[in-house]
Structures are given as C-alpha cells and as structure tokens.
Structure 1
Amino acid sequence: MQTRLRDGTECDVLVIGSGAGGMATAITAAKQGLDVIIIEKAPVFGGTTAFSGGVVWIPGNPNCPPDDIAQAREYMKHETGNFYDESAVNAYLDTGAEMLAFFERETEVKFSPSLYPDYHPDAPGGADVGRSLTATPYDTSALGDNLKRLRPPLSTITFMGMMFNSSNADIKHFFNATKSVRSFAYVAKRLAAHAAEVVRYGRGTHVTSGNALAARLAKSCFDLNIPIYTDSPARDLLTEHGAVVGTKVKGQMGDVIVRARKGVVLAAGGFAHDIAKIREAYPHLKRGGEHLSPVPKDNTGDGIDLGRTVGGQFEVRFPETSAWMPVSKVPTKTGFKPFPHLIDRYKPGIIGVLKSGKRFTNESASYHDVGAAMIKACEGETETACWLIADRPTIRKYGLGFAKPAPVPLAPYLKNGYLVSGKTLADLARNAGIDARGLAATIATYNKDAVRGADPEFGRGATSFNRYLADPEVGPNPCVAPITEGPFYALKLVMGDLGTFDGLATTVEGQVLDTQGTPIGGLYAVGNDRASIMGGNYPGAGITLGPALTFGYITGRHLAGVA
C-alpha cells in the first residue's frame, strides 16, 4: 500500500518515473545498499513499459553464438550511421548480458527466448534469431494491494481485457477457435481463467509482454522496500552550489521537498505527448497532419524539461526523432483510441496504399520503417496517411487492425466507420476517398505477381523478419497472396509512435551534460529521457527496453560507486 510522501523526506537516490529505466536504476542502486525512492506523476506505475511488447534486445545473451558481440557492433555501426557513439555502444554491448544475469539472478525479472529476427537481418552484422528476449508471463496477484496501481495493458490490443501470450502460436489458437477442436479448447480455457481472475481481482492477473515486465520490476522494488509514490509529479529540481540535491514534489497534501544525497534520476518517459515539442519535431505535424500516440498520456517531456531548467543539453537532432508506429483510430464514446499495427501488415493478401491508390513500401517491414516511408511518401501533402486493403477471405481469416477475424462480425466496425467496404474495388475507392484508377492499377500489378508469391516491386517476404509475423501455411511466400474476392475492405492508418529517441545528452553512466558538455552534479537520465544510442533508427525488437534496463543498471552501479 502507498503511504503519504512527507515533506523533508531524504534518500540516497530519487528516481522520477516508474518505467523500466527508472525501476532498473532503483533496483540496482538498492541492491548496492542505497536508500531509493521512486516518484510517479501518474496514478499508476509501469510507464510506457506496461504498454509495450516487453521485448529486450541484448546481443551476447546465452541464446546467441560466441561471436555475437562483434557481429552486433558491426550491425550497430551500420544502423546508427553518423550517430554511432562508440563508447556508449561498447558499454551497452559489453554490459547487456551481465545486466540480464543480474536481474534474473537477483530479482523477480525473468525473460524467455524469442524467435524475433533483427529488423534488418540482411544488413552487415544482422542476425536471424537470438538477440531479442521476451518478458516471461507473470501472475500479478503477487503484487497484493499494489495490483490496482499497476498500469493496465493498452486496451486496444487486448481481447475482452485479456492479453495474448507473446507468440504466434497463442494468437493462432484464437484465429482458429471455430475451425479446430484443439484451438477451441485452448481459447475456452484461457477465457474461463481470465473470467475467474476478473471476478476475484477486478482485472486479469495473467499478464504477458510489457505488463509482465513492469509487474516483475515493481514486485522487485517492493521486495527491496523501494516505495513507488504515484500521483506524485516532480515540479522543480533543487540545486545547491551548482549540483542537484532533490526535488519539489506535488504530494497529496501539497508540495513537499524530497532531498537526495547521491543523485536524482530523470526517467519520465520522453516527450511523445509534449504538444509543443512534437509539433516542432514531427514533419507530418508541421505540414498539418495527424498524430495519435499509443504511449501513456503522461509522457509530456517532464524529465527533459526539468533537466533543461538546470542547464541540461537537449536538442532534436535525429532524422527520425521517434519510434514510428502506424496506428488506426478506434472510435470510442469520447473520441478515438489508437490501435498499433504490429501484426496484420505482414499477412498475405493485405497491402498498404496512399490516397493515390499506389503502394509505397514493403508492408512487411518493421513498423518504424513503414512509418518513416509513410512520412516520406506523403511529403507535399497536408495529410500523412495510408490505407490497408484486404478482400473478404483475408479479413475473415486474419482480421484487420482492431477488427477481429471470424466468427466476430464485421458489422460493428463498418457501422462506426472504423472499416470501409465496397462490393468492387471501384466502390471501395469511392467510399474510402482513394483514387479509383490508381487502386485498380495497383491491385492488378500486385496480383499479377502475387499469384506466384512474388513482389518484385518491394521484395516483400525477402527477409526472415518479413516472414516472422506472416502466415507460414501460405506458400511459396508467407507474406504475399492476391486480392481477388469481394467485398473489399479498407482501413485508414495515421502516424503514431512507441516513444521518442531524442533526449538529454549524458555520459555513458547517465550523468546529464550541460550545454558545454560538463556533467551536472547529482543529475542523471535513463530510459527515453536520455538520448537513444540507436541514432533514430530501429534495428530490432527490444532496442528501447534493452538499453533502458542496461543503462539503468550502469547508472545504478555508478550512483553506488561500483565500477
């Protein structure tokens, strides 16, 4: 249970933010004997981590070959280009496996092997499997009374509030529930267990992905007597003789002062919902487009702003300042909720087109790559958007975005405008506002090669990552199938993100640098408040959480004076 944060509270380390980076720093420091407090602006803990896939990218982990670190270093050089930071990359690659072993040995945090390929496995140093790991599912009833303060998973990617396991096999059972006795039994068992959890705890307690990681980290904090004060936003940093010594916190009974003897750590999640910053940084907003981020609304750049008030160095410098995620707008009673398109784009028989009706990229590329291509393709346009196109057999087999596969009816999604349909391609184009001639020509060109599983225009299905989330039962190319049988369906996508890449400049150990490149005493940044070592690129699944945990571990040890 949470107690009230009192004025005059002192600790060794004060962490502002309760995502993976903040909690990893807190746990590491506490394990070294330091007294740590976490404060969180939101009424729930877990940050963006709780909404995420819970995947970490850790080259050199036990599932990788012996020479993986050298290969990963080559891959990082290729992926980050002019933003390659040798000292930071070396620290990350040399410490990642050590961090992983520490958390799995000393805390509740556990990971399971994943079959995720790197997002560019054919690039120099890229890998087809091994570097990504997924948080092991967790029973959150272990949190006791703190369960109600765990941020729930993103509602649009749950089914009746239930989370899918992070595997194609789990999702496939739900797709096949009406076609297979085995899958029906599997789904029925999952639904019954979930219903029992909701009755007993008010929510599902069998969680997966990022919700499992956030819960495991939080349980580890509570086991170490690290309090997490929610509804406690930091208002100002306190300085003495040029060093940060604490912060003013808006508590339940008014402002309180919390002093930190060794350091204050900014871990507030980046600036994905800082309207002023993203209007300046996002090209599609500059030209009048739309942006709908699925990350928590609390990520308004507070940590970065606090750092800047004491001279911290921040600039928008990466060509891609955020991890782009195309999203669709799910209608609700109060507006729209974003649905991140993580799976459907890879399926055969689904393509993406612009308003002109033309394809613009390999739909089976990563969400970040598709998002970047979408922004570029819409240069000169007011609107930055694309439409996913599918025929009836395809949408009933795989669903499309928030619209579920058979036997869930499509009528509600058509009625509320989420989906658009047409008996013919011409009807679909007219109803969706797409150029009819362009769409007809695109489908004709695509189908001519798709019947033999080929995509000469964009090479869809050419890499292991393209194929990973496709349909292995479709051959010869699991990513490609023709679009032939009406009625046809379209779903509009706009831009979103999974978090920001640009952040405060720091040392490798996380000390925030001033505009002259000098560390500011007592001030650190981790997670998305710290500039990403990926240079605005997205090399693989878990390249946000992997560094967040690793550099949190490095920063926690530095605060404790451990080399």
Structure 2
Amino acid sequence: MSTDVVVVGSGSTGVSAAVQAKQLGLNVIMIEKNPGLGGTSAVTEGYGGINTELQTQQGIHYDVKDVLLQAEGYHHWFADANLLKKFYENSGETFSWLQSLGVKFTGLRNLGANKLNTWHLYDGGGKALTETLAENAKKMGVEILTDTSGKELIMKDGKVAGIKATHSDGSNLTIKAPVVILATGGYSDNPEMLEKYAKVNADNVIDAGIPGRTGDGINMALKVGASDKNLKGGLMAFGAMMKGAPYGGTLHNGIGRQPLLRVNQDGMRFTDESLLARDWGAYGAAHRLQGTVYQIASKANLDNFVQNKFPRDMTPEGKIPTFFEDLDKYMKKEKTQVVIADTIEELASKLNMNEEQLKATVDQYNADCQTGVDSQFGKDPKFLIAPGENGPYYAFKLDLGYYATTDGLAITTDAQVLDKKGKVIPGLYAGGGDAGGLNGESYDVSLVPGSQQGWAVNSGRFAAQDAAKYLKK
C-alpha cells in the first residue's frame, strides 16, 4: 500500500493526528493493533487545557508563563520547557478544534488539592471522544486497519519511507509512506521496558489501562537510531491496587483508595497516607520507592467502616455493604495478598518483617490518633484512625497502580523524533505516550489535571501540522 502518512495507534493522539492530517490535504492510513479503536484514551475522563472557551465563559484566565513555572518547579526542570509552553499555548485553540468536530464536554473542574480548573470532562468519557474523532476520520476518507501491528520502520537515505506491519492472521503488510506518526501509547504493558527504564519490579506494579501498550512505537524508533535520552521511567502512578482486585471495585475503593496506616517492607511509614487524596501523582512517587507496601487495619476498623462509612467517600455516602463478602471471595482466590493475625507481633512475623519496628510504628500511630496530631507526617486528623490495641489485624499487600508511562522518545516542539545526535529523523513523528519531555519523575495531576490527555491530542496535531509542511502540502 502507499499513502502520505501512516499513523500507528488509534488513541487520542492517533485519531487527532489522522483527522488533522486529512484536514490539511494528506492521504492517511491509520493502523491499530487491537480489534477496536481508542486505546487507553477510551477510558479517560477529560482534557487538560489552559485558556479555553469554557474557561473564558466562566471568567477564568491563566498566565501561561505562571503555569509553566509552577509545572517546571513541580518537575524540577526535568520537563522540556519549550514543549510544555507550546502545549499550554495551543491547548485552548485545540479545545475549540475538538468542539468543531463534535466533541462535547460536561463541565470544568480541578482535582484533589489542585487550585487550577483545567480538567474539561468529556460528555460520554474518553470513549465518546475517540469515537467522535474516529467517525470524523472515516468520513474524511482515512483508511483504518484494525488488528494490524506496526513492526518495523522502512528507511531510505536516512529518511522514513514507510512501515512494515503484521495482521492478526499472521499476514504481512508493507505501507510505503514518507511520514510515520507513532502513537502507540508507551510501554505500560512491557515488563522488560518497565524494569529497564522505570527501575521497578514488574511483579509489584499494576497497569490500570487498556492492554497492548508494549512499547511498539518507541522500539521501532530506537531501532532506526532515535534517542533514548528522555526514557527516564516516568509513570503516571496513581496509588495502590491489590492484585486481582479490579480498579474501582469493592476492594480498590475500600482498601487501595483509603488513607489508612501504610508501612513498607521494613515496617515503617513512608508518607502521609492522605497524600493520595490530594495528589495521587506525588503519592505514587513515594509508593514507587518502597520495596513492598502493606495497609494495616484492625477487624474493628473494618467493621466500623461497613456499619457506618469508609473514611474516604469513593462510593455513595461512603457505603460498601458487600465489603466482607467480596473480601472473603478475594482471599479464597488470592491466597497471599491478605494476611491476618491476632497481634501486631504475629502479623510482623507472618510478613517476615522486624517485629519490634512494626510494633513501634503501630504504637506511635495509635498514640498520634489519640492526640489527633500526626507526629511524623502531619496527616489530616480526620484520617487518623487507630488500628487499636486489639486484633485481629489485617495486612493488605498493595502494589503500585499506574495508568500509563509518561516518558518516551526525544522530540522537537513539532513532534519530530530526534536521533542520538539531536538531529531530526526526517519523516518520523511521535506524540502522546510515545513522546517524552512533558513530565519529570511523576505526573503533575496536582497542577494541570488532564494534561496527559491534552498533550495526546495536541501532540497529534503538532505532528500532522509539521508533516504537511515537510511534504509541502
């Protein structure tokens, strides 16, 4: 096959790139490895943008320079300031572009302790966003091939000349094209890449996104000489999950999202647990540094929560009436994730943990709960809930949950992929989770919530716009 542009991946980066490229007069083929379109973007909630029409209507205006400096302060200047600046400056116009294509929004809000209202919620969620953009792409004449995985970039005289792909039935496909836009969503489902770049034990982390993000785009680019300097292991880590317990389910809401006493493998607290309610990106960074994390609660705690309400309202009125029933079913299936003991010393022994250290941690926490002052981390008193002096006690093993990887290939502000010498690889572009430079070690949800979605859409457009210039169309 032959075309002007091949877009690899159909999440919000891919469909945005495909629609924008078609609007600029380019012929486009979009390939997607999964049977359906949308990728993880289909389960997202909102678009992060600055100075959009919706904000203007509500009398909200932000100084881009001020937001940029706040973001760089959060990321300790690990983020590419020019990339961030271009994204912020264009995010308002891109919001209007989405609306012009029929994407609807239900409102505007902040998240956690964040004071900036930058999160524009999709009407119908990310599924509606990607479906709307995909319908536009189809009507415009974009050729879409599902069950088709990009495997290898074709290069000629140092420039992109196309891509080799494979259908799910095993047949091969060669597409000749002077432009390839990589939008495969990063490497969240690739254990080897997670351990290499993120330096985490792949057995102790849980991807909450859509399967299939195995680093295809990044690895194809690296094989033709792309730079790996921005592959620093960025994770959009949001907090804790229990293996085999679905995201948003009973145990995730009743355990993973509850800011109760948490200790690491050494029996020590490592942060104010309520940080996960204020800035889950920052909590995720703290959790990520630990070897193993356990949440400690007494049977009395859990009984009280079920009878009254859970401390953090993740369900209507904080009620989870089936908690114990679901926990019992879970423990029969996952036999090593929950440990129960009559005493703290016995609990430590079962966890192969220093008994004196865990006992000292629990005793101090109990004392702090009595005074209402967290002597170690200054935790909000409303979440200071003592395990108490009487068992039985539960220890729930918590793995690090994450939505996506947030690092990737080194790119210019026009989404052009750079080689190891910092030179543009002609015809090769990357956006969304395949592109690095937007974040540092963690996602800045406490500043511009929705920024990863906003970046995905904007970077897809940046790639298509520069591709049109490159092809002189």
TM range, smaller chain: 0.7 to 0.9
Q: How far, CA to CA, are the matches of 2:457 and 2:118 in structure 1? A: 15
Q: How far, CA to CA, are the matches of 2:24 and 2:154 in structure 1? A: 25
Match of 1:97 in 2: 92
Match of 2:295 in 1: 388
With over 3 angstroms needed to count, the CA separation of the structure-2 counterparts of 1:411 and 1:38, relative to structure 1, is: same
Match of 1:60 in 2: 51
2:77 match: secondary structure: helix
2:76 match: secondary structure: helix
Contact 1:283 1:375 in 2 (8 A): no
Q: Indicate yes or no: 2:361 matched with 1:442.
A: yes
Match of 2:387 in 1: 483
Q: Indicate yes or no: 2:111 matched with 1:116.
A: yes
Match of 2:175 in 1: 258
Q: How far, CA to CA, are the matches of 1:353 and 1:536 in structure 2? A: 22
Contact 1:58 1:132 in 2 (8 A): yes
Q: Indicate yes or no: 2:119 matched with 1:132.
A: yes
Match of 2:215 in 1: 301
Structure 1 residue 523, shift from structure 2 partner: 1.0
Structure 1 residue 70, shift from structure 2 partner: 3.2
Q: How far, CA to CA, are the matches of 1:222 and 1:450 in structure 2? A: 59
Q: How far, CA to CA, are the matches of 1:338 and 1:347 in structure 2? A: 12
Structure 1 residue 256, shift from structure 2 partner: 1.9
- CA displacement 1:220-241 (0-9 Å, x = unmatched): 4334343432110112222333
Q: Indicate yes or no: 2:157 matched with 1:241.
A: yes
Letter in 2 for 1:388: Q
Q: How far, CA to CA, are the matches of 2:132 and 2:384 in structure 1? A: 39
Q: How far, CA to CA, are the matches of 1:135 and 1:431 in structure 2? A: 46
Aligned residues: 445
Match of 2:338 among 410, 414, 419: 419
2:162 match: secondary structure: strand
With over 3 angstroms needed to count, the CA separation of the structure-2 counterparts of 1:107 and 1:258, relative to structure 1, is: farther
With over 3 angstroms needed to count, the CA separation of the structure-2 counterparts of 1:67 and 1:316, relative to structure 1, is: closer
Q: How far, CA to CA, are the matches of 1:111 and 1:24 in structure 2? A: 20
Unaligned 5+ residue runs, structure 2?
A: none
Match of 2:270 in 1: 360
Contact 1:108 1:216 in 2 (8 A): yes
- CA displacement 1:441-491 (0-9 Å, x = unmatched): 323322333346543422334xxxxxxxxxxxxxxx444333347543321
Contact 1:109 1:216 in 2 (8 A): no
Structure 1 residue 542, shift from structure 2 partner: 2.1
Q: 1:548-563 to 2 correspondence within 5 Å?
A: 548-561=456-469
Structure 1 residue 244, shift from structure 2 partner: 1.0
With over 3 angstroms needed to count, the CA separation of the structure-2 counterparts of 1:523 and 1:479, relative to structure 1, is: same
Percent same amino acid at aligned positions? Answer: 26
Contact 2:8 2:217 in 1 (8 A): yes
Contact 1:326 1:341 in 2 (8 A): no
Q: How far, CA to CA, are the matches of 1:421 and 1:539 in structure 2? A: 36
Q: How far, CA to CA, are the matches of 2:231 and 2:154 in structure 1? A: 28
Letter in 1 for 2:38: G
Q: How far, CA to CA, are the matches of 1:289 and 1:275 in structure 2? A: 8
Letter in 1 for 2:437: S
Q: Indicate yes or no: 2:68 matched with 1:73.
A: yes
Match of 2:193 in 1: 277
Q: How far, CA to CA, are the matches of 2:271 and 2:370 in structure 1? A: 19
Structure 1 residue 92, shift from structure 2 partner: 0.9
Q: How far, CA to CA, are the matches of 2:255 and 2:66 in structure 1? A: 31
2:420 match: secondary structure: coil
Match of 1:530 in 2: 435
1:11 match: secondary structure: coil
Q: How far, CA to CA, are the matches of 1:256 and 1:504 in structure 2? A: 25
Q: 1:398-417 to 2 correspondence within 5 Å?
A: 398=310, 405-408=320-323, 409=325, 410-416=327-333, 417=335
Contact 1:399 1:405 in 2 (8 A): no
Match of 2:379 among 456, 460, 466: 460
Q: How far, CA to CA, are the matches of 2:239 and 2:29 in structure 1? A: 36
Structure 1 residue 361, shift from structure 2 partner: 0.9
- CA displacement 1:110-149 (0-9 Å, x = unmatched): 35312314xxx6xxxxx51402222222xxxxxxxxxxxx
Letter in 2 for 1:546: G
Contact 1:392 1:489 in 2 (8 A): no
Q: 1:16-415 to 2 correspondence within 5 Å?
A: 16-51=8-43, 53-61=44-52, 62-63=54-55, 65-108=60-103, 110=105, 112-117=107-112, 127-137=114-124, 208=125, 210-251=126-167, 252=169, 254-261=171-178, 263-285=179-201, 290-315=204-229, 318=232, 320-331=233-244, 347=258, 350-365=260-275, 366-376=279-289, 378=290, 384-390=291-297, 391-393=301-303, 395-396=305-306, 397-398=309-310, 405-408=320-323, 409=325, 410-415=327-332
Q: Scaled by the length of structure 2, what TM-score is found? A: 0.82
2:451 match: secondary structure: coil
Letter in 2 for 1:415: K
Contact 2:368 2:384 in 1 (8 A): no
Structure 1 residue 95, shift from structure 2 partner: 0.4
Contact 2:238 2:401 in 1 (8 A): yes
Q: How far, CA to CA, are the matches of 1:346 and 1:296 in structure 2? A: 21
Contact 1:109 1:217 in 2 (8 A): no
Match of 1:15 among 2, 7, 32: 7
2:19 match: secondary structure: helix
Contact 1:22 1:267 in 2 (8 A): yes
Structure 1 residue 78, shift from structure 2 partner: 0.5
1:82 match: secondary structure: coil
Structure 1 residue 513, shift from structure 2 partner: 1.2
Match of 1:511 in 2: 416
2:442 match: secondary structure: coil
With over 3 angstroms needed to count, the CA separation of the structure-2 counterparts of 1:85 and 1:277, relative to structure 1, is: same
Structure 1 residue 326, shift from structure 2 partner: 4.4
Contact 2:231 2:436 in 1 (8 A): no
With over 3 angstroms needed to count, the CA separation of the structure-2 counterparts of 1:455 and 1:546, relative to structure 1, is: farther
Unaligned 5+ residue runs, structure 1?
A: 1-7, 122-126, 138-207, 379-383, 462-476
Match of 2:452 in 1: 544
